[in-house]
Amino acid sequence: MSYYKHHIFFCLNERTNGEACCAQHRPQEALDHCKARVKALGLAGPGGVRVNKAGCLDRCAGGPVAVVYPEGVWYTYVDREDIDDIVDSHLKQGQVVERLVLPPDVGR
């Protein structure tokens, strides 16, 4: 058994050369909202959910991006409602939010 049931990483990478990057989409706000929601629902901690920031996940063209492990499901999101859907459906109930899944061919 894994230490965490789900581990979600939010890319916070910022590129200074003008290339597309997740930081252009205010991912810190999404991470903070996700972390607060996970905690409020009692999902945080060992055996539950861990919310972390990440550097570049190399899928910049689909930004902002987050990835949930151990499943390896890649998400893109727009607003708090999208984050709520990820928390409520995937992190709480184990159901992938298909409408937010990042297509597999989207890279940098």
18-57 pLDDT per residue, tens = 888 999 999 999 999 999 999 999 999 999 999 999 999 9
In a domain, 108, yes or no: no
User: Mean pLDDT throughout 62-70?
Assistant: 95
Which pLDDT belongs to residue 101? 98
In a domain, 87, yes or no: no
In a domain, 14, yes or no: yes
> Long-range pairs for 78-82 at CB < 8 Å and ≥24 separation?
80/30, 80/33
- Domain that residue 58 falls in: 1-64
In a domain, 102, yes or no: no
Count of beta carbons in the 10 Å neighbourhood of residue 17: 5
Question: Which residues, in sequence order, are bridge partners of residue 44?
Answer: 49
In a domain, 19, yes or no: yes
Q: How many structural domains is the chain composed of? A: 1
In a domain, 57, yes or no: yes
